[in-house]
Structure 1
Amino acid sequence: MAWIALIVAGLLEMTGVAMMARLHEKKNLSSALLLGASFTGSFFFLSLAMETLPMGLAYAIWTGIGAAGGAVLGMVFYKESTAPLRLFFLGLIIASVIGLKLVSP
């Protein structure tokens, strides 16, 4: 259950980052509310995951999901660079998150 909560927290973190970009483009109440709800939900699910998982592990994976997911969202929806070196380092983040999961309880 803790791992599911951690994944949900990471996905909500990605949503929050996307809502920041949306709020930058369209300054409206719905974007601001979605931004607040996404980050609030993200912290809530992260706290649930940290009841079982070690803090360092949970935080590292949560950050990795958010960082990698935010970068992918930027490439897909905001036409950010997909340079090979950028994709390589994005792959390293993803591999690190998977590696942490594989070596953790």
Structure 2
Amino acid sequence: MAWFALIIAGLFETFGVAMMNQYSVSKNWKPLVLLILGFCASLFLLEYSMNTIPMGTAYAIWTGFGVVGGTVVGMLFYGESRSWKRILFITIILCSSVGLKMVS
């Protein structure tokens, strides 16, 4: 259950980052509220998952998920670069997260 919570926390972090970008574009109150709710849910679920998963592993996977999710959302919805270098480094981050899971 903790791993599921950690994955959902990563999704909420990615959502919060997307809403941060949306807020910077529109300056509307709705993205700001969604940004705050997304990050609050993300932190709550991260804290919950850290009751079972070691802190270093949970935090590394949570931040990795946020980096990868934010980059993918940027590439898919906001026209950011899809260069092979970016994709290579996203792959390295994902492999590192899987490696942490395997050794912990």
Instruction: Give the secondary-structure state (helix, strand or coil) at the position aligned to 1:80.
Output: coil
Matches within 5 A, 1:1-105: 1-104=1-104
Counterpart amino acid of residue 11 in structure 2: L
- Give the total of aligned pairs: 104
Name the CA distance, whole Å, in 2 between partners of 1:77 and 1:50: 31
Deviations 1:44-94 (CA, angstroms, capped at 9, x unpaired): 000000011111010000000000110000100111111111111111011
Counterpart amino acid of residue 6 in structure 1: L
Counterpart amino acid of residue 20 in structure 2: M
Name the CA distance, whole Å, in 2 between partners of 1:103 and 1:38: 30
CA-CA distance at 1:103 after TM superposition:
2.3
Sequence identity, in percent?
A: 52
Instruction: Give the secondary-structure state (helix, strand or coil) at the position aligned to 1:40.
Output: helix
Q: Which moved more, 1:67-76 or 1:90-99?
A: 90-99
CA-CA distance at 1:100 after TM superposition:
1.5
Instruction: Give the secondary-structure state (helix, strand or coil) at the position aligned to 1:5.
Output: helix
Name the CA distance, whole Å, in 2 between partners of 1:101 and 1:26: 39
CA-CA distance at 1:19 after TM superposition:
0.3
Instruction: Give the secondary-structure state (helix, strand or coil) at the position aligned to 2:69.
Output: helix
Calculate the TM-score normalised by the size of structure 1.
0.95
Calculate the TM-score normalised by the size of structure 2.
0.96
Taking only aligned residues, the RMSD between alpha carbons, in angstroms, comes to 0.8
Deviations 1:24-51 (CA, angstroms, capped at 9, x unpaired): 1111111110000000000000000001
Please identify runs of 4+ aligned residues in structure 1 that moved more than 6 A.
none
Q: Which runs of 5+ in 2 are unaligned?
A: none
